[in-house]
Structure 1
């Protein structure tokens, strides 16, 4: 089946479905519920997948007023056949993205749901470091930096939602200055999997990468 969706678009659909199901339980006004249902259908139409058989079956479940979050979640799983998952990379591919690192700490596994991963992030807890692999302009960029061990409540620069965050900082060679370096930092989610599950628009991730990589 043709892959028509990116992970962040699957997150968009998931969030809209959750809004509809929550409204069934908490909203008495049928017009409000109807608006939320139409918002979901409009999104599917904008993504050009409304007429896909798996989408039509999902809608049949979600549009029932007695639909639960559990049933909706199961129905959403079928949409993953339309999603281009984050690619699983081998050590050689990862090494190319982190050429400046003498010893790369590789991901322990790739069992996380790659259909909801717009970027890939993992931790080197022993050295208080974090690795990020991020798509950028039809290629992938590797970011390796310090992850402050202090957890904070704040706005993540990547998903742009309030969550448990810490300062992530990278060292950049200063422009035109031999041997001099400067640091760039930003608050990001400590848990990259949870962060990805909140990304419904990649623009904040793109800005984050630009800021962290441009000297």
Structure 2
């Protein structure tokens, strides 16, 4: 069976498995537990447009999860079917960020590629943060000034309450050359953000908003 689970879908399934584990730890009523299992099963199935019988059987094993050990075992069975983040090359980065000179790519370990819905990194010299995403073979990216803040906040991308920073991008807004700044708070740690990101739509909307909704995703 070929990989069919996107990273954000895997993270969603992981959270649903934890809901089942928590229910077994706190609920004794078998009818309530069955309702939780059925609800989680439906939610997991709903994040996929189409599933084969084999894929469906694999995902339905979430119903058998009743403790942390079984949850981890279930998630391990899914890992081979997670679609890894594509390999990023210097030429690709130049194409997505044509105006940025001497941009250094971050090192990405092979095992990390199955943890990434987007690639995020900072250029410490310029205090700029870069976000690079790929959806159905199309690439888009955005960069801007990134200022960490002391207090924790809600990340615009993953909606976790964590250490965040203000990401501000400057975009040409009108034909006369005027620029506008757009931004929001996102995680300081992009890898951690990826591990909590369950809705790829929030990432897409964020990048498109900062780019002024005018830049098409590049192949």
Q: TM-score, normalised by structure 2?
A: 0.83
CA distance in 2, matches of 1:70, 1:80: 16
1:128-152 Cα shifts (integer Å, max 9, x gaps)? 2211102357511121211103243
Q: TM-score, normalised by structure 1?
A: 0.84
Aligned pairs for 1:62-73 within 5 A: 63=64, 65=66, 67=67, 69-73=68-72
1:33 aligns with 2:43: no
Correspondence for 1:95? 94
CA distance in 2, matches of 1:86, 1:138: 11
CA distance in 2, matches of 1:163, 1:23: 25
Q: Report if aligned partners of 1:118, 1:134 keep a CA contact under 8 Å in 2.
A: yes
Q: Report if aligned partners of 1:135, 1:141 keep a CA contact under 8 Å in 2.
A: yes
| Greater mean deviation of Cα atoms: 162-171 or 71-80 | 71-80
Partner SS state of residue 195, structure 1: helix
CA distance in 2, matches of 1:206, 1:95: 20
Correspondence for 1:131? 130
Gaps of 5+ in 2: 214-219
CA distance in 1, matches of 2:111, 2:170: 29
Q: Report if aligned partners of 2:121, 2:130 keep a CA contact under 8 Å in 1.
A: yes
CA distance in 1, matches of 2:170, 2:116: 25
Task: Evaluate the alpha carbon distance shift between residue 91 and residue 50 of structure 1 in structure 2; reply closer, same or farther with a 3 A threshold.
Answer: same
Gaps of 5+ in 1: none
Partner SS state of residue 149, structure 2: coil
- What's the CA shift for 1:161? 3.0
1:190 aligns with 2:185: no
- What's the CA shift for 1:58? 7.6
CA distance in 2, matches of 1:177, 1:184: 18
CA distance in 1, matches of 2:154, 2:22: 24
CA distance in 1, matches of 2:138, 2:212: 16
CA distance in 2, matches of 1:4, 1:164: 32
1:154 aligns with 2:178: no
- What's the CA shift for 1:157? 1.4
1:65-108 Cα shifts (integer Å, max 9, x gaps)? 4x3x2442232122123222211212222222111101102112
CA distance in 2, matches of 1:112, 1:139: 22
